[in-house]
Structure 1
Amino acid sequence: MLHWAIFTENSTPITSLLDKLLNGPLPEGFKSLENKKGALFSTAEIQKWMDEERRHDRKILTRNHTQSLQSMSSGERKKVLFAYILSEKPDYLILDNPFENLDPSARAEFLNKINDLSQTTSLIQILSRTDDLLPEIKRYALWQKQELQWTSEIPSRSGTSSEENELFQYDLPESLESNSYQQENLVEVKNVSVAFHDKPVLKNVSWKISRGDFWELRGANGSGKTTLLSLITGDSPKAYGQDIILFGQKKGSGESVWDIKKRIGYITPALTDSFRGYHSLENMLISGLVDSIGLYTRPTEQQKSLARDWLRLLNLENLKDTYFHDLSKGQQRLIMCARAMIKQPLLLILDEPTADLDDKAAKLVVHLVNKLGNESNTAIVFVSHRSEPGLRPESIMELIPTNQGSIAKILS
């Protein structure tokens, strides 16, 4: 079977590339796929099926599962999409960054499935991280400036420390409002256990997050990281009846979800995809002050000034009127980090902030997160299945699966 790898950069969108590979005309080098049936495995495809479930209450990928796509972990979502694609029996499969959001164990399991598939099905791997290259692929191409360039070598791409220092040379802008919360502890989770349909997920998990902490949250796919975070953000009814204190108030004692959310900055790759309209960078950042998808009020001069200070920090000040969807994926992720941080929340949750980024962009996001941890009193929780070089958390919380649900292990 013929297999190909296409190395991409976040500065060049791949929409047109995917369209050509799926619908034609096929790019040069792929003529052997003429008149054959292709399929796409990507995070965007998962999002499409999630939207279908949410809007029309139609379960396609999860018709044989009790859980919805929304309630599954990112790794579990990939598994059900892959199974669905195999049931459709495509002649060739496009794998768009297939190992994103997979822990080492799930990655190894998925790699075995892909290796088996490669015996009967042509693979086109689109990848942002050079370490993710499938071993059976020997044909390489670069996707740059909307053109496909064939190469005989694996490209080496990484940012330099001098570029990082130049990008983030300014101090963090100060918040427009002082926070009235004075206690040291922000979140206290005590002996929490959670199950879904008699399936245990968490078992006697305890965790305390204090002002200014910098945590990395680790755990295998399905270990309960998403569930644990939803208890903190107020998005899960499983929090009621548990021993959870959020910002000085016991869960279920009369607080509203919005009382919780106004103290938290939260980003996920899926949240980035929610901004599909014509949002300028300045308005994107200001919308973080009011927690809205888009800006529907006239901003004040103070708000505009604060947004410009953040853009200057990111070295994007000259793009303040540029639309968010016109940025590279790496630039978008930097903007989302700044948007979540602009109100200087008590707690900043970064759920897979480097997912789908190329090597250089991921390194810059990590550098920015380190800066947020060093120069603010905001507590940070960084979640990633990938061990990011250069990340400097103070403590690590790892969820370890057992038959009774995941238990917590604290590493310092």
Structure 2
Amino acid sequence: MKIPVIKLDNIAVKFINQQIFKQLNFTLNSGDNWAITGKSGSGKSVLLQTIAGNISISGGNITYHFMADVQQPAGNTPVNFHRFIAFAGARHHFKTLSNTSNFYYQQRYNSSDSEDTLTVSQYLQSVKANEHKPLYWTYDRTVAALNLTGLCDKQTIKLSNGETKRLMIAAALLKNPLILLLDNPMTGLDIATRQTFNILLNEISASGISIIMATSAFEIPDCITHVAVLNDGNITQRLTKQEFNTIEQQHADKPVIDKEALSGLLNSFTTAHNYKQIVSMGDVHIQYGDKTILNNINWQINPGERWALLGPNGAGKSTLLSLINGDNPQAYANNIILFDKKRGTGESIWDIKSKIGFVSPEFYQYFPTDNSCLQVIESGFYDTLGLFRPSIKSRADQALNWMKALEIDQYARHLLKNIPASAQRLCLLARALIKNPALLIFDEPCQGLDDHQQQHFKSIVDAICSISDATLIYVTHYQHEIPDSVDKVLRLDKGEVV
């Protein structure tokens, strides 16, 4: 007989004055592991946060049945359910050594400033483990299982997106929880790491931890026993994994893009793109202390070329992009030409950024929390991470038109921090496109997007490439995400071109 561990009875949840759930029911039984899937914005992350106790319910009840077996200490502060639940989400909460969160995007590439952050080892050792049972997930076991051994002395701010994801999952495991909540844990992980992670989830389940994870319908790990499909704040299907696998998951049809409207958006902010070379690198070498990040990189990107930049987590892709985007000061010590000018010959960082539309997975963490989505997109005209000047109506109108093209105009007046992660990604894509730059750099742009949104974005990229001379660098760990217009590949591994 199944024993309930957590039960949600007719819960209602409001988040940022929006009704997410009205009468939602969900039960986690002992021995079960659930995958929560559905369209972007359907409420998957909110459901996990609600179970974790991070979002209050406005109606119904949540019962944490496992608390009946918890022996409360006499005379001391009672133990609450939070101790037994660990949550690994899409956003990190790293602190500096002075216990602040005042990071800036380029900090990871500036050695003096990045030293002000905890190392991986220090971060993990600060996690307090539960003592309700013998600890299975010890420090050594967890570090080895998440392949963090070689990163222990690395500052957290210097980690790649995939490495950060592994660290957050390791921190959650070190709590030795009864329930582990994972918000899209596979995004940002390369193919080999995803395969290893599938095996790890089996071990986590076998260690007595129940798993509830938000994930794509096309990435259901082996340990999952049940699948819930969310749609508009309701669980529309509850299936065993076997039943779910028998349902053919259809990819969305390729969207039809209005090229004429797109051409109008691009031509409304025109700049001359008359360059002989977009990027030229000769024997580029990047090193931090004794650690070589990039070694003997030679790469030439000509106008109108469309490249995929591929490689496993930690291969050096983000560092390579930082040299192109003007974020890494070591560019001055290398033979790098950007837009026909050698770095260090008088051009400013803002000269470089004015020619580039850039998106990276962690980018949204560095925008002001009081900026609306419309303001964030308008800031793309000025290459600032947020709008720090009065809005100009014509440019705000242009930002809104891009939001309409990306099907996110309903979020125009919402704060960026309060909208679904998928919509945040699309806002930053609109910000990158709004000034019609000579070079587009998309670093894992489809993270968190559902299948329709991925197809829609790919179609927009292909349409832009067909009607403009934009040059493209596209980074992804998923072959199916690469736009059809991409026809060149640079592959990195361990800091070298392979």
- TM-score where L is the length of structure 2: 0.72
Note if 1:345 corresponds to 2:437: yes
AA aligned to 2:172 is I
| Partner Cα separation in structure 2 for residue 129 and residue 224 of structure 1 | 27
* Aligned partner of 2:448 among 339, 352, 356: 356
> What does the per-residue CA deviation read over 1:73-123, in whole Å, with 9 as the maximum and x for residues that have no partner?
122222333333332212221121111111111222222222212101334
Note if 1:106 corresponds to 2:193: yes
SS at match of 2:307: strand
SS at match of 1:201: strand
Q: Structure 1 pair 195/297, CA: closer, same or farther in 2 (3 Å)?
A: closer
Question: Does the CA-based 8 Å contact 2:474-2:482 persist in structure 1?
Answer: no
Q: Structure 1 pair 7/68, CA: closer, same or farther in 2 (3 Å)?
A: same
Structure-to-structure mapping, 1:87-236, within 5 angstroms: 87-152=174-239, 153-154=243-244, 156=249, 158-161=251-254, 164-165=255-256, 170-172=261-263, 173-176=265-268, 178-180=270-272, 182-236=274-328
* Aligned partner of 1:397 among 485, 490, 495: 490
Question: Does the CA-based 8 Å contact 1:366-1:388 persist in structure 2?
Answer: no
Measure how far apart 1:266 and its partner are: 0.8
> What does the per-residue CA deviation read over 1:163-193, in whole Å, with 9 as the maximum and x for residues that have no partner?
x116777333134554355222111011112
Comparing 272-281 and 87-96, the one that deviates more: 272-281
| Partner Cα separation in structure 2 for residue 134 and residue 30 of structure 1 | 27
Supply the RMSD in Å over aligned alpha carbons: 3.1
Measure how far apart 1:149 and its partner are: 4.6
AA aligned to 2:40 is N
| Partner Cα separation in structure 1 for residue 221 and residue 61 of structure 2 | 22
SS at match of 1:43: coil
Q: Structure 1 pair 190/268, CA: closer, same or farther in 2 (3 Å)?
A: same
* Aligned partner of 1:8 among 38, 46, 57: 38
SS at match of 1:78: helix
Question: Does the CA-based 8 Å contact 1:333-1:365 persist in structure 2?
Answer: no
| Partner Cα separation in structure 1 for residue 170 and residue 279 of structure 2 | 38
- TM-score where L is the length of structure 1: 0.86
Measure how far apart 1:384 and its partner are: 0.9
Measure how far apart 1:312 and its partner are: 4.2
**Alignment correspondent of 2:15:** none
**Alignment correspondent of 2:5:** none
The count of aligned residue pairs is 401
Question: Does the CA-based 8 Å contact 1:157-1:360 persist in structure 2?
Answer: no
* Aligned partner of 1:49 among 94, 101, 108: 94
| Partner Cα separation in structure 1 for residue 49 and residue 397 of structure 2 | 41
Question: Does the CA-based 8 Å contact 2:422-2:447 persist in structure 1?
Answer: no
Question: Does the CA-based 8 Å contact 1:159-1:360 persist in structure 2?
Answer: yes
Structure-to-structure mapping, 1:78-93, within 5 angstroms: 78-93=165-180
**Alignment correspondent of 2:422:** 330
Q: Structure 1 pair 240/278, CA: closer, same or farther in 2 (3 Å)?
A: closer
Question: Does the CA-based 8 Å contact 1:8-1:126 persist in structure 2?
Answer: no
Comparing 53-62 and 255-264, the one that deviates more: 53-62
AA aligned to 1:375 is I
Note if 1:241 corresponds to 2:330: no
Q: Structure 1 pair 229/75, CA: closer, same or farther in 2 (3 Å)?
A: same
Larger-gyration structure (1/2): 2
Question: Does the CA-based 8 Å contact 1:5-1:137 persist in structure 2?
Answer: yes
Comparing 349-358 and 6-15, the one that deviates more: 6-15
| Partner Cα separation in structure 2 for residue 168 and residue 14 of structure 1 | 33
Note if 1:306 corresponds to 2:395: no
Measure how far apart 1:340 and its partner are: 0.6
**Alignment correspondent of 2:84:** 37
Measure how far apart 1:206 and its partner are: 0.9
Measure how far apart 1:241 and its partner are: 1.8
Question: Does the CA-based 8 Å contact 1:128-1:356 persist in structure 2?
Answer: no
| Partner Cα separation in structure 2 for residue 363 and residue 174 of structure 1 | 20
Question: Does the CA-based 8 Å contact 1:12-1:144 persist in structure 2?
Answer: yes
| Partner Cα separation in structure 2 for residue 127 and residue 274 of structure 1 | 24
| Partner Cα separation in structure 1 for residue 410 and residue 169 of structure 2 | 42
Comparing 223-232 and 66-75, the one that deviates more: 66-75
Provide the identity percentage.
Answer: 26
| Partner Cα separation in structure 2 for residue 319 and residue 196 of structure 1 | 41
AA aligned to 1:59 is L
AA aligned to 1:136 is C
Q: Structure 1 pair 14/227, CA: closer, same or farther in 2 (3 Å)?
A: same
Comparing 167-176 and 375-384, the one that deviates more: 167-176
Measure how far apart 1:358 and its partner are: 2.1
Measure how far apart 1:223 and its partner are: 0.7
| Partner Cα separation in structure 2 for residue 349 and residue 194 of structure 1 | 20
AA aligned to 2:87 is L
**Alignment correspondent of 1:266:** 358
Question: Does the CA-based 8 Å contact 1:224-1:399 persist in structure 2?
Answer: yes
Q: Structure 1 pair 318/103, CA: closer, same or farther in 2 (3 Å)?
A: closer
Q: Which has the higher contact order (CA 8 A, sep 6+)?
A: 1
